[in-house]
Structure 1
């Protein structure tokens, strides 16, 4: 690809191939644009460690997930398209049993259910949950519909293999000092020239010279891989932890913990104990922990993604902050950002980085690299 006489030309240079970079690269290629993605596979990246849970009703208040009516159809269509392309199954739609943790929570939620705020995402709250062998449900709960989980590791492996074979992905660590951004485009390392550069670096964005002013706070999470052959695999379980069936033989993934800096370099015994105890609170079937993984999420203070173009360098853009809901958010967010980059359309204000422009204005001069 490298030439001594002319640089390699591409419409987009994308930095990072987690969920954000992978979905954006696919969306831009679908629109006929050329992309070059630079990334090195990190087995314990947040995108690969996550259980990929899609939950239409989330949080302690049992509220509908933000913009679920728009995000879920886009996510389902994206994963189904890739399933057809690669001949694999990535999206596993399963009902979620959201269990109450107390009588008070049970009463509060059932009282609020009278206004039918959940639509068809929740089965009749007045009906008891299915009788699941081994499941502890002393206070009942809700059966959530149209949720499930995405096998993010299999998805990213398929896209990575495709990219390496076809040449739109290079296994290479990005060096920011080699990027030169100008009004008409950007050049990198003397061998590639792009119309735009999009940073999809996840938690590593805190070290990005152009976007370090954004309020990304890395958050570390740990998950357990567990074998529980007696545990039914036709539901996702959720109370204090999620339990996602991920394979034959009763294999499930249990997560996740939340830890703010400083981070542990390896999986911790404290997280293993915490997650195992959460699982024991959900079920009385025997289980065996077979693995433990740790990753770092790119969390944002208002829990909304970060999309947009640099305030002074329109050649540069960012796609980040998907947090723990990346598999639900990424496909529609990629469409929105592609509309901005290709057609100049307006972003949703909730996700536009302009909502944090005051932080850019207040940042020291060192955070504003010259073109």
Structure 2
């Protein structure tokens, strides 16, 4: 029988950061993950943007989440001797004079001054960039190389034996007052579901209002396009080095076809053609299914009727920015140090749980 303090199911950005935090605090952690190459975390461009959506609104708790995430990823860089986090300016390109005026008016308010580095009210003259109406330069953001980061953590997990490349079978989990036993082989004090979009099929948590959506990205070669910043207008264009960029992302609600699609490729190529008139070559296309929540806030906390079981996820497109802070918050709660914030607590949806069904 293998004994552990915490059994984490899933090693995407949510599960990987949580497992790392718990291990750093001295807990015995065991992780199950099937190692899907096309998971949402592996496909993601890892963009950390202080702004959300077309309304140019500041992201939720951005003043806390953004610097926290940056410090966290720098710590991982030191640990593994690799570069994961690239702090970069983000140029939000204006599509019209009306949008330019609206953004200029909004950004005069606090706390915008902390995230806006400046404005270009005319074309800033960046190589290959179509910006006739200028744009807003956003600071303190950047992008995370999620796939290499997860690979570094997984390599350590395989080497040290705390990561098992297996699909977790929830029907083989037996819970009780003292914890849980899995498949008659693993005993854990607590089990945390970090399965991403797959949690919608989890018998313990399929009642949660998870709204999975399908997203695609393109990798393109465009050697002459400015790579000094992230570009954003209807799509993000993230520099990956050596004249290559990741362009994304599409957003499809169910029902959708999993995997890359011709429609996704055409849509993203058309969006990139608005940003640049330079020729570009598509060298890769990937697709994943994001785990989102209807109110666009994460879900953390215990199952209403199974004290030994918790949930961690629902990060949507903000996963790399949310994951470090949410991992520490949940770890603090698991250790009895702090309460989960009400706006991310799973308990806000307890009324949806069909009582008596686990």
Quickly name the TM-score band, shorter chain normalised.
over 0.9
Alignment of 1:50-61 (within 5 A): 50-61=44-55
Structure-1 residue corresponding to 2:17 = 23
Distance in 1, matches of 2:41 and 2:144, equals 11
Distance in 1, matches of 2:49 and 2:205, equals 30
TM-fit CA distance, 1:111 = 2.0
Distance in 2, matches of 1:348 and 1:130, equals 42
CA deviation profile, 1:305-339 (whole Å, cap 9, x unmatched): 00001111110000010110000000000000001
121-130 vs 304-313, which moves further: 121-130
1:233 and 2:227 matched: yes
Contact 2:119 2:134 in 1 (8 A): no
Distance in 1, matches of 2:76 and 2:159, equals 17
2:315 maps to which of 309, 322, 339? 322
Distance in 2, matches of 1:306 and 1:238, equals 28
TM-fit CA distance, 1:126 = 6.7
Alignment of 1:52-71 (within 5 A): 52-71=46-65
2:238 maps to which of 239, 244, 249? 244
Aligned partner of residue 181 in structure 2, secondary structure:
strand
1:278 and 2:271 matched: yes
Structure-2 residue corresponding to 1:97 = 91
Structure-2 residue corresponding to 1:3 = none
Contact 2:121 2:134 in 1 (8 A): no
1:132 and 2:129 matched: no
Distance in 2, matches of 1:297 and 1:251, equals 24
Contact 2:123 2:132 in 1 (8 A): no
> Where does structure 1 differ by over 4 angstroms across 4 or more consecutive aligned residues?
126-129
Structure-1 residue corresponding to 2:141 = 147
Aligned partner of residue 82 in structure 2, secondary structure:
coil
Distance in 2, matches of 1:110 and 1:259, equals 31
Distance in 2, matches of 1:162 and 1:114, equals 46
TM-fit CA distance, 1:51 = 0.2
How many equivalent pairs are there? 358
Contact 2:299 2:345 in 1 (8 A): yes
Aligned partner of residue 300 in structure 1, secondary structure:
coil
Distance in 2, matches of 1:151 and 1:244, equals 11
Contact 1:113 1:125 in 2 (8 A): no
1:348 and 2:348 matched: no
CA deviation profile, 1:210-268 (whole Å, cap 9, x unmatched): 111110011000000100001121110000000000121x1000000011112213311
TM-score (norm 2): 0.97
335-344 vs 83-92, which moves further: 335-344
Contact 2:210 2:291 in 1 (8 A): yes
2:38 maps to which of 41, 44, 62? 44
2:109 maps to which of 98, 115, 128? 115
Contact 1:227 1:251 in 2 (8 A): yes
Which consecutive residues of structure 2, in runs of 5 or more, have no partner in the other structure?
Answer: none
